Amino acid sequence: MSGKLRVRVDQDKCQGHARCKSLAPELFELDAFGNAHEVGDGTVPAGLEDKAWLAQSNCPEIAIEVIEE
Amino acid sequence: MSDHSPVTDWVHDFDHTDPRWTENPYPIWDELRAASPVVHTERYLGCYMPTTFEAVKQVAYDTEHFSSRRVVVRNARPEVIPSPPITSDPPQHKPAKQLLLPPFTPDAMKKLEPRVRAICNELIDGFIDEGGCDAAARYSKYIPVRAIAHMLGIPEDDSDRFIKWIHEILELGIKDEAILMNAVHEMMAYFGGHIERRKTEPTDDLISTLMNARDQNGQPLPDMHVQGTLRLLLIAGIDTTWSAIGSSLWHLARTPADRERLLAEPALLPSAVEEFLRAFAPVTMAREVMKETEIGGCPIKPGNMVLLSFPAANRDPTVFPDADKVVIDRKQNPHAAFGLGIHRCVGSNLARMEMTVAIEEWLRRIPDFRLDPAGKVTWSEGTVRGPRQLPVLFGKA
């Protein structure tokens, strides 16, 4: 549980609700069509863990995976 | 089949236009959900309704058995009038939707925000000295219609005409096909004129964006496609958000504690907006059953419609604890107000921006208000639910 977190957006599931981007703009970005992608390789900087879980639990399509490394 | 006699058995004979449903649908949905994940009525030539979040989601995701070619449950099954992409199924859906996504991203909405803020303030200027107003008829109603007119590049002054068409297509047209078709033809004539004018005088708006769009083969879209999409954008852009803003103000008028909290903690507004969207989701869609299947153990037969109630899904207590309570700082809120799956509302970022700005400006200028005890709140019927009369008094009681 004390390890690092990584977020990943499943491109087949994301429909562009943009909830993750609004809740955790440090971790997610939107493309020209408004679909979400993780920033960089998805590594969650220290201190932003809660935002990663928050984004996951608010995605209506269950498209966000939070990986504990 | 135009029987709309009062419902005596909701589970086997529901009718979403029954006045009790219009007035307060939540206990009815609880009763249906307790009975079965899918219920059926013989009304509307046969119609199912999934009652749980899970069942709603399964239907929304299953484009093989459930078609979007008819997205409103009506008495009759009039000819299919395509309004891509909402009425499109795969594989036509994706290219039609992709065209519309870039103009509606959150960044694009930021550019429109000052115009929406100005509209809100112009409207408030019109009634703030009167001590009270009908917040639905004089405020929430005119914000989305003027914003989408601005985006489309058609006169904001034609707003009342657009509102008349919406009422005829989405409310009266449920039971009267002639009214429906007449409104559709009036809209086609209206947009036809705007399209023709842009052929010689191109403009920088959504109508021109659609006229300049090219399909996968590099061809312009047929006029009928452009027309259908314009009707969709106008229809979907108006009474939906009008309803969502109205319901939010209805809640705030009755809940001083939430009002005070939002004034003291403005950073809560985004989560409050999501909670208003969950609790008062305005839009119920429909699907048409194309092939026999099963949802939640219930057999589903072709020839029936499906009333796809995202609002009922949002009240499912297995997904949303205390589903009937409005909790403006709700942490876990994966609501389905904008639909689920490929048909996610293309205007969701617009709707959020409009709701946020409309509530922000109202609270800034009218921090205290309450329902007028001498007035009556009325709600729209059928596909889109929200207050149509919302009499409020300004100031503390």
pLDDT in tens, A23-56: 999 999 999 999 999 999 999 999 999 999 999 9
Q: Alpha-carbon distance A53 to A58, whole Å?
A: 9
Residue type for position B355:
M
- Fold classification of B56-279+342-394 (topology level): Cytochrome p450 (1.10.630)
Residue A2 pLDDT grade (very low, low, confident, very high; cuts 50, 70, 90) = low
**Any idea where the domains of chain A sit in the sequence?**
5-68
What sign does the CA torsion over B260, B266, B267, B269 have? positive
List the single residue in B105, B332, B334 with the smallest CB-CB distance to A34.
Answer: B105
Whether A59 contacts chain B with CB within 8 A: yes
- Which tokens is B287 given? 């699907």
d(CA B181, CA B12): 31
Cα B23 from Cα B385, distance rounded (Å): 10
Is the model's pLDDT at B124 over the cut of 70?
Answer: yes
CB-CB neighbors (< 8 A) of B342 in chain A: 15
Q: What is the pLDDT of residues B285-309, one digit of tens each?
A: 999 999 999 999 999 999 999 999 9
Nearest Cβ partner for B342 among A15, A30, A54: A15
Q: What is the pLDDT of residue B1?
A: 45
Please tell me if residue B334 touches chain A, with a CB cutoff of 8 Å: yes
- In this complex, is the C-beta atom of B220 within 8 Å of any C-beta atom belonging to chain A? no
Q: What is the mean pLDDT of chain B?
A: 96
pLDDT band, very low/low/confident/very high, at B2 (cuts 50, 70, 90):
low
Mark yes or no for CB contact A60/B342 under 8 Å. Answer: no
Q: Is B101 on the interface with A (CB under 8 A)?
A: yes
Is residue B240 predicted with pLDDT exceeding 60?
yes
Per-residue pLDDT averaged across B194-211, rounded? 94
Query: At a CB cut-off of 8 Å and minimum separation 6, what does B60 contact?
Result: B308, B336, B339, B340, B341, B343
Residue among B352, B386, B366 at smallest CA distance from B262 = B366
Judging contacts by C-beta atoms under 8 Å, the chain A residues touching residue B106 are: 18, 21-22, 30, 34
Nearest CA in chain A to B338: A17
Q: Which of A15, A32, A54 sits opposite B344 (nearest CB)?
A: A15
The helix (H) or strand (E) run that includes residue B178 is helix B177-200
The verdict on a CB contact (< 8 Å) between B332 and A33 is no
Distance CA B248, CA B169 (A): 24
pLDDT single digits (tens) B135-157: 999 999 999 999 999 999 999 99
CB contact under 8 A, A22 and B106: yes
C-alpha A18/C-alpha A22 separation (Å) is 6
User: Would you put residue B44 in left (φ > 0), alpha (ψ -120 to 50) or beta?
Assistant: left
Distance CA B135, CA B121 (A): 13
**pLDDT, tens digit (0-9, with 9 covering 90-100), for B334-387:** 999 999 999 999 999 999 999 999 999 999 999 999 999 999 999 999 999 999
The fold for domain A5-68 equals Alpha-Beta Plaits (3.30.70)
Interface A-B, measured as beta-carbon pairs within 8 A, has a size of 51
d(CA B25, CA B30): 9
A67 CB near a chain B CB, below 8 Å? no
Start-to-end CA distance of chain B, whole Å, equals 49
Which residue is it, tokens 């006699």?
B5
Chain A hits for B104, CB-CB cut-off 8 Å, are 34
- Cβ distance of B348 and A21 shorter than 8 Å: no
pLDDT digits (tens, 9 = 90+) for B326-336: 999 999 999 99
Which of B61, B333, B343 is the best substitution to test chain A (most A C-beta atoms within 10 A)? B333
Residue B106 and residue A21: Cβ atoms within 8 Å? yes
Distance from CA of A3 to the nearest CA of B (A): 23
Mean pLDDT value across residues B252-269: 97
Q: How high is the pLDDT of residue B93?
A: 96
Helix (H) or strand (E) holding B389: strand B387-389
- What confidence category does residue A3 fall into, taking pLDDT thresholds of 50, 70 and 90? confident
| Chain A residues whose beta carbon lies within 8 Å of the beta carbon of residue B341 | 15, 61
What residues of A are in contact with residue B336 (Cβ under 8 Å)? 60
Long-range pairs, B26-35, Cβ under 8 A, ≥24: B26/B315, B26/B324, B29/B309, B29/B311, B29/B312, B29/B315, B30/B315, B32/B312, B33/B312, B33/B316, B35/B11
Among B77-86, B186-195, B338-347, B371-380, which is the least confidently predicted range? B77-86
Query: Which of B:351-390 have CB within 8 Å of A?
Result: none
Which H or E run includes B225? helix B223-236
- Average pLDDT for residues B121-129, to the nearest whole number? 98
Residue type, A1: M
Q: Which of B101, B334, B342 sits opposite A60 (nearest CB)?
A: B334
Closest residue to A32, CB basis, from B102, B340, B344: B102
**Whole-number percent of chain A with pLDDT over 90:** 94
Interchain contact A39–B (C-beta under 8 A): no
Interface test with B, best of A13, A14, A15, A37 (most B CBs within 10 A): A15
On chain B, the residues whose CB falls within 8 A of the CB of A62 are 334
